[in-house]
Copies of this chain bind each other. A is one copy, B any other.
């Protein structure tokens, strides 16, 4: 007989039946999306969830295993299972792929220098699933390794989801950009897609990165998504790759 974690839910003529562990996973993902447990918080123990859903602990375990593999949760033996957070040092460099040629682990430093609201250009609107002309926050910043500027980022966010975000906010504190969005606006980035191209530096980029106009730069366009595959950030990064490279592992 087909089972369901919530007997009160009408199964009716629904032609789609998921295994129990998947129903549990879907439920837990929904809890995360609704902010039931904030980033860094502990979720209920496997035993408690098993009791709550009337399933065995192994079934709950399989659901959590998959979510841990997707970087949604973090297991810590003896302590519990926690909602993944960009505050965690382990998640800190998950989205930055530029590495110095010499392999040194120098600290990177972000220097935002502009933050304004604009109307979304068609390209930006399409990526963020907004109407063209909708208000977006535009942030410009320079990222440097060991004092040398290597990335010029232009970041676009839907204005409505980040009220009161200013240049001062960005410059305050040492936390990373995604940590800030997570803590101050409750928006957690869980996935991103990047499109890379080689381009010639325009006047603005050349000036900021201290190279000749026309020099080859690595263009990295990123769309970042929160729960439910909802895009909430689009950015255009220009990477100077004379002494650094973009690393990618093909599994």
Residues of B close to A217: CB separation below 8 A: 198, 216
Instruction: Please indicate the chain B residues that have their CB under 8 angstroms from the CB of A199 in the complex.
Output: 198, 216, 241
Contact A193-B245, Cβ < 8 Å, known A216-B217, A239-B198: no
From A94, A196, A215, A239, residue with most partner B Cβ within 10 Å: A196
Interface residues of A (CB under 8 A from B): 69-71, 94-95, 97, 191-200, 214-219, 221-222, 239, 241, 245-251
Q: Are A193 and B249 CB-contacts (below 8 A) given A69-B69, A200-B216, A217-B198?
A: yes
Give A193 to B245 CA distance when docked, in angstroms.
12
| Closest chain B residue to A199, Cβ basis | B216
Closest to A200 in B: B216
Residues of B with C-beta under 8 A to A200:
215-216
Cβ contact of A194, chosen from B214, B218, B221, B250, cutoff 8 A: B250
Contacts of A251 in B (CB 8 A): 70-71, 94, 191
In contact, A249 and B191 (Cβ under 8 angstroms): yes
Q: CA A197 – CA B195 in complex, angstroms?
A: 13
Expressed in whole angstroms, the minimum distance between the Cβ of A242 and any Cβ of chain B is 8
Question: Closest approach, in angstroms, between the C-beta of A88 and any C-beta of chain B?
Answer: 15
